[in-house]
Amino acid sequence: MMKISTKYDGSMWMDATLKELTSLVKEVYPEARKKGTHFSFAIVLTDIKRPGYQVKEIGSTMSGRKGTDDSMTLQSQKFQIGDYLDIAITPLNQAPPTSGRMRPY
């Protein structure tokens, strides 16, 4: 688990894009800089209907390649203060599951 801050002056950057978040991860985790590394993003939020959390997969990026989700913002995916951001990082030589689902939970 890595702590990466997207705060400036005490407020969350709701307009942060998935590509910008990918860059922040690559700053603190050099292994993720390798071309072809896959980043899968999900919002983890409190489930208001029952005890626990919900996971909402929101998009993915890849090191060294432009993608359709690069410009997606946290705000566009209804991220709220108090939610968590889960980022699954998969190296090029370990392809993500063919089902497209990175999280077994």
Q: What is the pLDDT of residue 10?
A: 45
Q: What is the pLDDT of residue 32?
A: 92
- Answer whether residue 83 is part of any domain: yes
* Domain coverage including residue 23: 12-90
Q: What is the pLDDT of residue 58?
A: 95
Q: What is the pLDDT of residue 56?
A: 93
What are the DSSP calls for 41-100, one per residue? EEEEEE-SSSSSEEEEEEEEEETTB--TTTT-BTGGGT--BTBEEEEEEE-TTSPPPTTS
- Answer whether residue 1 is part of any domain: no
Q: What is the pLDDT of residue 98?
A: 54
State the CATH number of the domain containing residue 52: 3.10.20.550
* Ranges in the chain, pLDDT < 70: 1-12, 95-105
